């Protein structure tokens, strides 16, 4: 009898537990349904409130506000976006879809303790009524792409005159600004870590125009910067022997650069055997590089001087990475400074001025050396000769003590033989003074 009583009690306990679990599940389900219903009601209220707003206020609207209902905290997110007339759902930057006749309004409601349950999302379309938009205003569509033509989201955009707008491109690379006063704008765009065609980091400015009752479209291209490592060599005399050369600058150009080539200088303009040209936009077509900082240093600007071709190299720049290292030849100038035509002068100052190239301060580019034991230009009195120079014409000044001599129009353009220049501090053409 005792065993039967125990078994009966166990059966009753198991049954009661199952009933309790069922009651608890039903209670939780009912509570969750009440919360979901409340969230849906809040979403409907937000939709009604959005429909009462001006069309111009709905464009690119993004707002978030809290609501406490029944002791539970809810978060309501509202957004508005002009969409294309063709389907009423996509943004108006798609090819062939540049109208913006509807506004898609979205209300998203989240709540405390929602766990893995998805938020309540309600979307609808608002059609601007006739005359709701100023006919003297227009629409500006901005499309941002990377070098491969893919969409670039998160590009910040703003302008303040004659109208005001701000925002950023979405995941499709699209940004649409409606109901803007017509006129010319200077738009500022930004994307951290990206560069434009000229290799400049943000912010960037672009001139755009807005015409009455029409949609104007502008496409921007930005991407992660790449690098081209460049090494230099020079020919020893007219032999087939080459030695490593140093340069203080390299110029990179591409046909798509809007402002022409860009010069990249070493730190402190100190000549180096390896110069890294960066940041560079990763164009699909190869960049061309050569030593120097001006277009006048181009040894073959129009492809008309094949002899200058060794002084140039090409490279495809990968986005965010380094290209394969390239080597370019520089013409050589062998300067020998003497005191009487035969005795080398050690420690003389040699200033070599590019007659056709100016720096950012509009001063002619100068390179200063000292002479070694052989009377040749070098970095130090005990260093080796450094004859490599960018392609061009130079003024060469040598001075020691209170004597100097200057030679102008020195052509340093040959890739097949070095240019030799002997300067006698006490010879014809010398004078008192020192080189700059």
- Per-residue pLDDT reduced to its tens digit, 296-327: 999 988 777 777 789 999 999 999 999 999 99
Sheet with strand 403-412: strands edge to edge: 377-378, 364-371, 349-358, 392-400, 403-412, 431-432
Evaluate if residue 365 carries a pLDDT over 60.
yes
pLDDT (0 to 100) of residue 297: 96
Segment 338-365 shows an average pLDDT of: 96
% of the chain exceeding 90 in pLDDT: 68
Evaluate if residue 273 carries a pLDDT over 70.
yes
CB 150 within 8 A of CB 221: no
Among the ranges given (81-95, 122-136, 151-165, 249-263), the one the predictor scored with the smallest mean pLDDT? 81-95
Contacts of 216 (CB under 8 A, 6+ apart): 138, 139, 140, 141, 208, 209, 210
How far apart CA 256 and CA 115 sit, in angstroms, is 52
Highest mean pLDDT among 70-79, 82-91, 284-293: 284-293
Among the ranges given (62-66, 77-81, 238-242), the one the predictor scored with the smallest mean pLDDT? 77-81
Here the tokens at position 40 are 């849906």
pLDDT (0 to 100) of residue 97: 46
Here the tokens at position 153 are 């989201």
Among the ranges given (5-9, 145-149, 285-289, 425-429), the one the predictor scored with the smallest mean pLDDT? 5-9
**pLDDT per position as a tens digit, 372-398:** 999 999 999 999 999 999 999 999 999
Chain mean position to CA 375: 46
Instruction: Please classify residue 72 by burial: count the beta carbons closer than 10 Å to its beta carbon, then call 0-12 exposed, 13-18 middle and 19+ buried.
Output: middle
**Average pLDDT in the chain:** 89
How far apart CA 139 and CA 144 sit, in angstroms, is 17
Cα R_g (the chain), whole angstroms: 36
Number of neighbouring beta carbons within 10 Å of residue 234: 23
DSSP notation for 314-359: EEPPPTTSBPPPEEEE--BEEEEEESSSSSB-TT-EEEEEEEEEE-
3-class state of residue 23 by DSSP = helix
Here the tokens at position 77 are 């997110």
pLDDT (0 to 100) of residue 92: 55
CB 196 within 8 A of CB 250: no
The candidate with the shortest Cα–Cα distance to 280, out of 247, 312, 323, 330, is: 323
Domains of the chain, CATH where assigned: 42-132 (3.30.1300.30), 137-221 (2.60.40.10), 226-329 (2.60.40), 333-432 (2.60.40.1120)
């Amino acid at each position: 009898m005792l065993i039967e009583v125990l078994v009966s009690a166990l059966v009753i306990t198991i049954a009661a537990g199952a009933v309790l679990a069922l009651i608890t599940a039903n209670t939780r389900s009912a509570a969750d349904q009440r919360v979901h219903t409340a969230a849906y009601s809040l979403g409907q209220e937000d939709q009604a409130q959005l429909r009462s707003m001006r069309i111009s206020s709905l464009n690119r609207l993004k707002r978030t506000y809290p609501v406490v209902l029944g002791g539970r905290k809810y978060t309501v997110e509202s957004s508005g976006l002009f969409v294309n007339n063709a389907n009423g759902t996509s943004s108006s930057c798609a090819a062939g879809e540049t109208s913006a006749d509807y506004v898609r309004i979205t209300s998203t409601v989240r709540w405390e303790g929602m766990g893995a349950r998805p938020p309540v999302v309600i979307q609808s379309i608002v059609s601007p009524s006739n005359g709701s938009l100023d006919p003297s205003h227009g629409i500006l569509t901005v499309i941002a792409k990377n070098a491969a033509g893919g969409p670039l989201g998160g590009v910040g955009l703003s302008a303040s005159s004659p109208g005001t707008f701000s925002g950023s491109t979405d995941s499709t690379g699209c940004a649409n600004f409606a109901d803007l006063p017509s006129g010319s704008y200077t738009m500022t765009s930004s994307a951290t870590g990206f560069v434009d065609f000229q290799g400049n980091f943000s912010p960037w400015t672009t001139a755009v125009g807005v015409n009455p009752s029409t949609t104007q479209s502008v496409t921007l291209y930005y991407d992660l910067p790449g690098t081209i490592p460049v090494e230099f060599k020079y020919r020893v005399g007219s032999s087939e022997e080459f030695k490593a050369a140093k340069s203080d600058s390299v110029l990179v150009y591409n046909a798509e650069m809007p402002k022409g080539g860009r010069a990249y200088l070493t730190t402190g303009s100190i000549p180096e055997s390896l110069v890294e040209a960066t940041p560079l936009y990763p164009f699909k077509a190869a960049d061309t590089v050569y030593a120097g900082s001006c277009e006048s240093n181009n040894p073959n600007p129009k492809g008309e001087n094949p002899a200058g071709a060794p002084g140039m190299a090409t490279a495809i720049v990968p986005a965010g990475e380094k290209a394969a290292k390239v080597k370019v030849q520089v013409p050589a100038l062998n300067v020998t400074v003497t005191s009487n035509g035969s005795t080398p002068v050690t420690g003389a100052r040699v200033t070599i001025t590019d007659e056709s190239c100016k720096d950012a301060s509009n001063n002619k580019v100068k390179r200063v050396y000292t002479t070694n034991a052989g009377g040749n230009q070098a970095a130090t009195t005990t260093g080796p000769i450094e004859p490599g120079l960018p392609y061009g014409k130079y003024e060469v000044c040598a001075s020691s003590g209170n004597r100097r001599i200057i030679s102008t129009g020195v052509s340093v353009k040959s890739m097949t033989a070095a240019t030799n220049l002997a300067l006698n501090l006490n010879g014809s053409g010398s004078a008192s003074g020192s080189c700059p």
